[in-house]
């Protein structure tokens, strides 16, 4: 698996990395100079953070609270086991690929252990932290509002998943308790940074994997040959932000769905189905046939399944490139658990 260009999560060691000294030996009273600013800037850039540390968990978490940094670290793993195992668990909890994860530690043995067990995770010496904000992999192309709120969105997701695990009914019954509202609107110039971010960050729920330059995306906003839509989602746990994109190309009596993207954070909430439902109904309203391009990648099989369940059939196939067409006789309905608002 190849490393991704940008880091989505930085995992920290604690002793002699985040703070001075060793906590169990009386250290930990002061942060490394510049470390607070480093953490705050990563958070602002939408790079989430976690911890893999060999320490007493209760003592370490208490110290993080005293230092005012506890809230910035998601899914901390503080134990006496191998740090590679802790990072594996963090990756699983966050749903982030190894190639988008990095680890910072002062100890070369720990860095080597992680690099050996998880070769796609990038490792950094704690001594270079003050230079890392200048590294390309830690510099997102744009810093969007969704990026700034990413940590709180993850926390809302964790709370939602905990409640779902404790819920006695079916998945659909649980979804009906969320009060979900999906708003579909035309992409504006203000949305373009988030659109670009979704195209480069989303892999599992991306129908083609196409990436467009910022200039190409901007040109499609006012293009008479395209329908360019973005979807935002909120529920009783909070605002999930801009979570989906539909890009449709008009061609005679045909609508060609060029791009369907749904943020992986909302994978289990039926948003892909809702956006496809809207596309199908929009095509029917305008009396045109709906086709969809699909390009198979190593990650997006679930998107193909979504198309098939929605009544799309294969028309052409050329290697990994598949052309699908909506073939059902009946128009689909939006999921009952989801309120859909379309901004004209």
Q: What pLDDT is stored for residue 70 in this prediction?
A: 96
- 145 vs 54, which has greater pLDDT? 54
Q: Which fold has domain 148-342?
A: Aminopeptidase (3.40.630)
96-117: average pLDDT = 96
194 pLDDT above the threshold of 50:
yes
Over pLDDT 90: what percentage of the chain?
69
SS3 at position 184: strand
Q: What pLDDT is stored for residue 176 in this prediction?
A: 94
**Paired sense of beta strands 180-186 and 338-342, if any:** parallel
Query: Per the CATH hierarchy, to which homologous superfamily does domain 9-138 belong?
Result: HAD superfamily/HAD-like (3.40.50.1000)
SS3 at position 308: helix
DSSP 3-state percent helix, strand, coil across the chain (nearest 5): 40, 25, 35
Q: What pLDDT is stored for residue 2 in this prediction?
A: 45
Domain boundaries, the chain: 9-138, 148-342
215 pLDDT above the threshold of 90:
no
- 146 vs 253, which has greater pLDDT? 253
* Residue found under tokens 């060793």: 22
Q: What pLDDT is stored for residue 140 in this prediction?
A: 87
**Paired sense of beta strands 48-54 and 9-12, if any:** parallel
Torsion sign (Cα): 325, 328, 331, 333: negative
170-175: average pLDDT = 91
- 126 vs 216, which has greater pLDDT? 126
Q: What pLDDT is stored for residue 326 in this prediction?
A: 94
First CA to last CA across the chain, in angstroms? Answer: 42
- 323 vs 3, which has greater pLDDT? 323
- 298 vs 244, which has greater pLDDT? 244
Q: What pLDDT is stored for residue 320 in this prediction?
A: 84
Nearest 5°: CA angle at 333, between 329 and 334? 150
DSSP string, 18-68: TBSS-GGGT--SSBPTTHHHHHHHHHHTT-EEEEEEES-HHHHHHHHHHTT
Helix (H) or strand (E) holding 103: strand 101-105
DSSP β-bridge partners for residue 324: 292, 314
1 pLDDT above the threshold of 60:
no
330 pLDDT above the threshold of 50:
yes
Q: What pLDDT is stored for residue 136 in this prediction?
A: 94
Paired tokens of 4 = 């991704």
Q: What pLDDT is stored for residue 81 in this prediction?
A: 96
275 pLDDT above the threshold of 80:
yes
Nearest to 227 by CA among 290, 269, 313, 272: 290
29-54: average pLDDT = 97
Split at pLDDT 50, 70, 90, the class of 201 is low
69 pLDDT above the threshold of 90:
yes
Cα Rg for the chain, rounded, in angstroms?
22
Q: What pLDDT is stored for residue 246 in this prediction?
A: 93
> What order do you get walking across the sheet with 101-105 strand by strand?
77-79, 48-54, 9-12, 101-105, 122-125
């Amino acid at each position: 698996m190849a490393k991704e260009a940008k880091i989505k999560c930085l995992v920290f060691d604690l002793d002699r990395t985040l703070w001075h000294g060793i906590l169990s030996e009386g250290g930990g009273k002061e942060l490394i100079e510049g470390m607070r600013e480093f953490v705050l800037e990563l958070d602002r850039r939408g790079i989430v953070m976690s911890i893999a540390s060999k320490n007493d968990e209760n003592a370490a978490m208490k110290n993080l609270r005293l230092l005012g940094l506890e809230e910035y670290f998601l899914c901390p793993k503080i134990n006496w086991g191998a740090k590679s195992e802790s990072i594996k668990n963090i990756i699983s909890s966050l749903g982030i690929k190894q190639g988008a994860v990095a680890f910072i530690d002062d100890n070369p043995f720990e860095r080597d252990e992680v690099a050996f067990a998880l070769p796609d995770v990038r490792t950094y010496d704690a001594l270079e932290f003050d230079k890392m904000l200048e590294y390309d992999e830690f510099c997102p192309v744009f810093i969007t509002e969704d990026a700034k709120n990413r940590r709180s969105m993850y926390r809302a997701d964790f709370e939602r998943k905990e409640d779902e695990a404790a819920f006695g009914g079916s998945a659909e019954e649980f979804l009906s308790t969320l009060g979900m509202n999906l708003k579909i609107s035309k992409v504006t110039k203000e949305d373009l940074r988030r659109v670009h971010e979704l195209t480069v960050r989303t892999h599992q729920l991306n129908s083609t994997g196409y990436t467009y330059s910022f200039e190409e995306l901007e040109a499609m906003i006012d293009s008479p040959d395209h329908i360019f839509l973005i979807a935002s989602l909120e529920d009783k746990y909070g605002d999930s932000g801009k979570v989906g994109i539909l890009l449709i190309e008009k061609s005679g009596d045909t609508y060609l769905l060029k791009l369907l993207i749904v943020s992986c954070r909302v994978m289990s909430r039926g948003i892909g189905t809702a956006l496809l439902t809207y596309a199908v109904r929009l095509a029917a309203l305008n009396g045109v046939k709906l086709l969809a391009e699909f390009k198979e990648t190593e990650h997006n099989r679930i998107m193909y399944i979504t198309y098939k369940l929605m009544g799309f059939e294969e028309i052409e196939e050329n290697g990994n490139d598949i052309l699908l067409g909506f073939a059902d006789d009946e128009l689909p309905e939006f999921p009952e658990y989801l309120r859909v608002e379309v901004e004209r």
